[in-house]
Amino acid sequence: MLVAGPWPTFPTGTDPSWWPPGVRTADDDARVAAYAAALAFYRGEQWPGVPRRGETRLVFNYARALIRKTASYVFPGPVSFTAVTPEGNATAREAGNRAERRLAALATRLDLPRLDLALAIDAAVLGDAATKVTWDQRHAQPRVAAVDPGSLVARWAPDDPRQVEEVTHAYGLTRAQIGRLFPALPLTGLATDRVYPVVEQWTAERWTVLVAGQTVQDLPNPYGWIPYVIAANNPRPFSFWGESDLTDLTGVCHELNQRMTVLSRILELSGAPIAVLENVHGSEGIAVGPGAKWELPEGAKAYLLDLLQGGGSQIHLDYVEQLFRVLHDLSETPRTAFGDSGRDLSGAALEVEIQPLVQKVARTRRMWEGVFVKRNAMVLDLCERLGGEDLQGVRETVAVWPPVLPSDRDAAVRNAVSLVESGIQSRRGAIVALGGADPDSELAHIRTETDLDRRAAHS
């Protein structure tokens, strides 16, 4: 039985010596370098070059705020799942109910809603996010862990980038961690204060593990599938890896930081005005301050330099306002998404104004739906094959998303009732649309209560 232990990831993607020869390519090196640059920009390193002596550099990290805001709209609440089973098959439907309950219980136990939100931010920042699904022998349940995409190298079918054929994962472990993960491995010669490279190579048929360059395991794949799910953010149709959402924002963020820094300097100098002296040799004894008196020679002239004179600051403010507009346009996140529309709008007008963000969220959710289909199939497969649960081979699921925008619960219920009464929607579909996690169990409770009410009325 494979034991999936706590495998911490280290920033090993940039060290070529940790990888077997021929695994990492120049494209992988460029991808990892792009990850590092995007992560640094997200953390606030948004000025190019080295600052000059005494130079002030302000950073207004709108990039991070926009990334987090979009992720919060993509995952405003936990995502639930409904299992896909054949119509009219009561046994399969009951197995589907068990699968739905199992997924809901694991989501709570493994804290998957918080993990998915963090992965959504990672995918938007780096362009990619990854999880590993394995069997936790100690707790007898599946384990879903985040993986640094920079520590992965993937190979896919030549005619279909979405069909992964091999994944190589490099990370670091100490001697104690290696001993817990591979109990049968002799640890002689391994120092206790070092981190050793561990490389896993997965195909659908084989699982190979190398520790410090030595092969310690070469076994048939115990799962029958590659246990990695990679979320690629807005990939091109012929590309496997995704693209960072920061790509379009770096230029405008650079310019915004520079213009705001210039405006800050102007305001700072205006608060401590510059004294300009004409036809004066030396400035000894001349001080600017309340009640100060100057004795100037004949023909001399003194005045304070007003940097705000002539509306110069307004030009900067107008330009900054245009930069904000470009920033919101490129990020597809209107100012309304932050709760400030600047004017009174009706509900319909607000929906139209925030429509660009709704469309962006819909695109992002389509990507995550594919991730959830693969991840749930792996989890259910582990629950049935290694956990002994009777799921009748149910693997396919459909995500039920919470609403993107705040909704009127009463209006949603009235719409659901109208659709059910008109025969357009089933009762089960209405329960799912309203956020019910177990619609079949809820319908059974309804039937039971209806029967009890009828018996009470007849008696």
SS3 159: coil
According to the model, what pLDDT value does residue 181 have? 78
According to the model, what pLDDT value does residue 298 have? 67
Q: What is the pTM of this model?
A: 0.80
According to the model, what pLDDT value does residue 55 have? 82
According to the model, what pLDDT value does residue 410 have? 61
According to the model, what pLDDT value does residue 168 have? 95
d(CA 127, CA 280): 62
Q: What does 224-290 look like in DSSP terms, one character per residue?
A: SS--EEEEESS--TT-SS---GGGGTHHHHHHHHHHHHHHHHHHHHHHSPEEEEES-S--TT---ST
Residue 416 contacts residue 434 (beta carbons within 8 Å)? yes
Sequence spans of domains, the chain: 16-248, 257-287+295-359, 409-459
Nearest to 126 by CA among 168, 71, 169: 71
Residue 361 contacts residue 367 (beta carbons within 8 Å)? no
Question: CA dist 179 to 172, 176, 187, 188, 227, Å?
Answer: 13, 5, 7, 11, 22
Half-sphere exposure of 404 (CA within 13 A, CB side): 19
Which helix (H) or strand (E) segment holds residue 398: the answer is strand 397-400
Model pLDDT for residues 438-450, shown as the tens digit of each residue: 677 777 778 777 7
Half-sphere exposure of 19 (CA within 13 A, CB side): 20
Strand ranges (DSSP E) for 59-120?
Answer: 80-83
The 10 Å CB-count burial string (b at 16+, else e) for 89-102 is eeebbebbbbbbeb
Calculate ∠ Cα 142-153-129, nearest 5°: 55
For residue 304, the cross-strand partners are 275
Q: What does 5-16 look like in DSSP terms, one character per residue?
A: ------S-TT-G
Half-sphere exposure of 457 (CA within 13 A, CB side): 6
Instruction: Report, as ranges of residue numbers, the positions in the chain whose pLDDT lies below 70.
Output: 1-15, 269-313, 340-350, 406-412, 435-438, 459
Residue 337 contacts residue 360 (beta carbons within 8 Å)? no
Residue 168 CA, chain-centre distance (Å), reads 22
d(CA 342, CA 70): 20
